[in-house]
Amino acid sequence: MDSILRKIRDECLEANKALPETGLVDFTFGNVSVLDLSRGIFAIKPSGIPYDDLRKEDIVLLDLDGKVLYGESKPSSDTPTHRYLYRTLGERGVHAIVHTHSRRAVAFAQAGFAIPCLGTTHADYFAGEVPITRDLTKAEVKGNYEWETGKIIAEVFAEIDPMPIPAVIVRRHGPFAWGANGIKAVENAHVLEVVADIAWQTLLLNPRAESIPAYLLEKHYKRKHGPEAYYGQPTDPSERKAHRPPKAPRKGYPDPRFYAFDR
């Protein structure tokens, strides 16, 4: 295994280990994968192994045709969904994918609602509502179910840029989130659960609560993303007014190195 493949394997292990720390997963529900776009190879969690027991050698590496290249374990049963999404959205920036059954987001999936963008907490991370897929047909469920799940997600993003909206709700099932790397994707899955929780409570208080006005949504999203972003500390130390010694990187999740709000 060369250094590029070791990198995605290790990133995949780190992100899967971070997942239980977010409180998003019960038992072994959930999985993270990481893509190397240039090689068309991705690393994914093996099926049914508890997060605590995961080791480097358990991570499975596959190509985009589904051929296992490294790993003795059976890959996650959701692997075809990840593979479909990398084939269709990989070139649009989706380089790591997280699937969980986090409870608030699953509640939206079961209720059949997209997560509306009701305030600035949501707008800081998602440039609009988090969309919901259509239902799978009986034939799709009886056929290659996990592959078809990827297809109905990709259908939603035919018209939507997947990076400003780095998550989706699969109807009656649950959330998928993504990002430019494994930890960023875990962070997006975590924020998705937070905004689902806040939206739920908002709608309980006021079922007629309206979406955030477009001008406020744009203000909040753009101050953290893209060329006009100004949230946080400048990345060039000479531009910082406070001269603080850099902190040693902290282990575990959340990792402050990944909090630069760029995907």
Catalytic residue numbers read 124, 231
* C-alpha–C-alpha distance, residues 83 and 102, integer Å: 22
Classified as helix, coil or strand, 146 is helix
The H or E element spanning position 97 is strand 96-99
Residues 6 or more apart whose CB falls under 8 angstroms from that of 216 comprise 120, 123
* C-alpha–C-alpha distance, residues 107 and 200, integer Å: 9
- Tell me how many degrees the CA angle 230-126-42 measures, rounded to the nearest 5: 105
Please give the backbone phi and psi of residue 174, each rounded to the nearest 5 degrees, phi first. Answer: 165, -170
* C-alpha–C-alpha distance, residues 95 and 42, integer Å: 9
* C-alpha–C-alpha distance, residues 183 and 127, integer Å: 20
Q: Is 115 left (phi over 0), alpha (psi -120 to 50) or beta?
A: beta
Please give the backbone phi and psi of residue 221, each rounded to the nearest 5 degrees, phi first. Answer: -65, -45
* C-alpha–C-alpha distance, residues 7 and 151, integer Å: 28
* C-alpha–C-alpha distance, residues 223 and 99, integer Å: 28
